[in-house]
Every structure is written in C-alpha cells, then in structure tokens.
Amino acid sequence: MEIKQSLLVLEDILQNYKAAIGKDFNGYRNHCYRVYRICQALTFLTAEEEHKLQIALAFHDLGLFTAETVDYLPPSITLAETFLATQYLEKWQTEIALMIGEHHKVTSFKSRAYLLVEILRQADLDDFSFGIVCHGVDKTLIRQLKRQFPNAGFHRIIAKEQVAWLIKNPLNPFPIFKR
C-alpha cells in the first residue's frame, strides 16, 4: 500500500491548533496519520469517508491539548462540531461526534448506520497498543507506519496526563474509556 505523506484536510485543521498542541504537535500529527492508514487497511474508504475520517482524526484527541484534561472527549467533540458548522457540514455532526466519542470504547461499536465509528475505534487501538492489539492489519504495515510517522513522544504525553489525572481523581481513573 502506498503511504502518502500529506492529508490536506487533516493538515489544514491541525495547523490551526499547532500553538495549542505545542511541542507535542508532531507526536499527535503522526498518531493521526498512523490511525488513518490503519483505517485504510481495515476497509475501503470512499472520498466522503476519507474526508469524514480526516476531520474526526484531527479532533479525536485534540481536547487533551486545548482543554488540558484527560477527560478530553467532550471538548474534542465540541471543537469538531464548531468546525463542521463553519464548513457547512452539520449533516456529519452525529457521525463524527460518535467517531470521537466512541474511539476509546472497550467493546465493539455496533451500528450499520455508522460503520466508520468501529473502524476508527479499531485503528486507534491498533496504533495505541503498538500493534499488540491487531484487528486483522498486517504487523508489517504497523512497523512501516511507525518508521514513516514516528511516535515522537505521543504515548509519553498520554501517560503523563493520565498519571496527573489519577492523582487528582482516584475515584474516576479513566474517564475516556467506555464499555
């Protein structure tokens, strides 16, 4: 599979948040690229699905940086909804909100109407687990993606934020994970 370097929609959105993401920009950007490519390996994507996926990926973890919280899914969804409104793409709000809101779901997301939600959930887990969890994607692809789009400290960012959250919120240790 050919791995293109640039996803224009994703890049345009991320550039608007480069200052907010700060030193973690490359790590987050590369995570988005790896997840996108894993989604491509999991299923054929139409042009519209590629567009939706790039938007969802740009925002899926963004609240971690903009709202400075581990409970970042609601702020990430709000950012995406605002963006969609400015682009006159409100008709995609439900699907993209589900893609963001359910991407850490522990169990499968079952919906015939919104198949991309489950594809994104699987791909994000495949990447986040360093390929230990694999939903039918060749591990060679995972290694190739890691070389082309290095981690650049992305997992460190998540771990650091999670520990800080845990200290402050011991009774709600993992707010982003759902059943």
Are 143 and 131 within 8 A, CB to CB? yes
The pLDDT assigned to 135 comes to 84
CA separation for the pair 7, 54 (Å, rounded): 7
Burial class (CB in 10 A: 0-12, 13-18, 19+), 86: exposed
Q: What is the pLDDT along the chain (179 residues), one digit of tens a residue?
A: 455 567 999 999 999 999 999 999 999 999 999 999 999 999 999 999 999 999 999 999 999 999 988 788 999 999 999 999 999 999 999 999 999 999 988 889 998 899 999 999 999 999 988 777 888 888 899 999 999 999 887 767 766 666 565 556 666 656 555 55
Are 69 and 63 within 8 A, CB to CB? yes
The pLDDT assigned to 1 comes to 47
CA separation for the pair 57, 52 (Å, rounded): 9
Angle, helix 115-128 to helix 93-101, in steps of 10 degrees: 30
Are 165 and 70 within 8 A, CB to CB? yes
The pLDDT assigned to 153 comes to 76
Are 24 and 153 within 8 A, CB to CB? yes
Angle, helix 139-148 to helix 25-42, in steps of 10 degrees: 150
Sequence spans of domains, the chain: 8-168
CA 179 to chain centre: 18
CA separation for the pair 16, 36 (Å, rounded): 19
